[in-house]
Amino acid sequence: MTSMKSPKAYLSYAFFFILVSATLLEGYMYLQTNSRIETLAKENSVLGSRYTDLNDTYGKMKEKYSNLTSEQDALRAELSVISTRYNELLERYNRLLMLVDRPLRTRLIPTVSELESWLKSDETDKLTYQEDFNCLDFSLTLSEMARTNNWKMGVVFVHGYNNVTLEKYVHAFNAILTAEGLVYVEPMTDQIWWYSEHRKIEADRVYVIGYKPIMVEQVEILLACA
């Protein structure tokens, strides 16, 4: 006859089963959690690497943006200079155009003595030389002032170099036909000079201009005096 186990024995078996089940469940949950932690660690490593790449890319883009901004500012400054220079040249062109298109009603030819006397009273040479008001502006101004006397005073632009120092020479000054012949005028100092037989300045020759020996390579007649 089979012996009956006591309730106490059944309780022991149940407790043992529960303990084993709990241990197995805990082990399973540990393995799952550990696997999840490893997966998250890998994802975090990937994200960290991606973050580093993005941060490097951001740094490069920020530097490039800074360079582009600096370049933009430089271009704006250059554009401003070019715009100012253009307006200055346009003003000079319009002044030249006005002088060319506005012929004298009655043209008078002064003597050198009359020219010298007038230059003493004219105040063009009293103007201040500046970057935006240079020798060309002096020459145009003197030419305009000469019109008040019905004199046709031209503007000459000479390119060359100092025949002694070889320093580059670019300068504008005036020319006018007098009763004695062609003479030149330095509008910034009122100096008057001329060459043998009152001949005009020509290229590929050395002339004394402003007390300097200048090898003239090119002569531009911006405003004729004839």
pLDDT value for 114: 98
Residue 117 scores a pLDDT above 90 = yes
User: Which has more pLDDT, 2 or 120?
Assistant: 120
Domain ranges of the chain: 1-102, 107-223
* DSSP, res 225: -
For 107-223, CATH number out of 3.30.460, 3.30.310, 3.40.50, 2.60.40 equals 3.30.460
Residue 5 scores a pLDDT above 70 = no
Residue 147 scores a pLDDT above 80 = yes
10-46 per-position pLDDT tens digit: 667 777 777 777 777 777 888 888 888 888 888 888 8
Residues of 112-137 as b/e, b for ≥16 C-beta within 10 angstroms?
A: beebeebbeebebbeeeeeeeebbbb
Band of pLDDT at residue 96, cut at 50, 70 and 90: low
Spatial CB neighbours of 206, under 8 Å, sequence gap ≥ 6: 163, 213, 214, 215, 216
The mean per-residue pLDDT over the stretch 198-217 comes to 96
- Cβ 172 vs Cβ 188: under 8 Å: no
Residue 3 scores a pLDDT above 60 = no
pTM beyond cutoff 0.95: no
Residue 170 scores a pLDDT above 90 = yes
pLDDT value for 162: 96
* DSSP, res 103: -
pLDDT above 70 covers a percentage of the chain that reads 90
Band of pLDDT at residue 69, cut at 50, 70 and 90: confident
187-198 per-position pLDDT tens digit: 999 999 999 999
- Judged by DSSP in three states, 178 sits in coil
pLDDT above 90 covers a percentage of the chain that reads 47
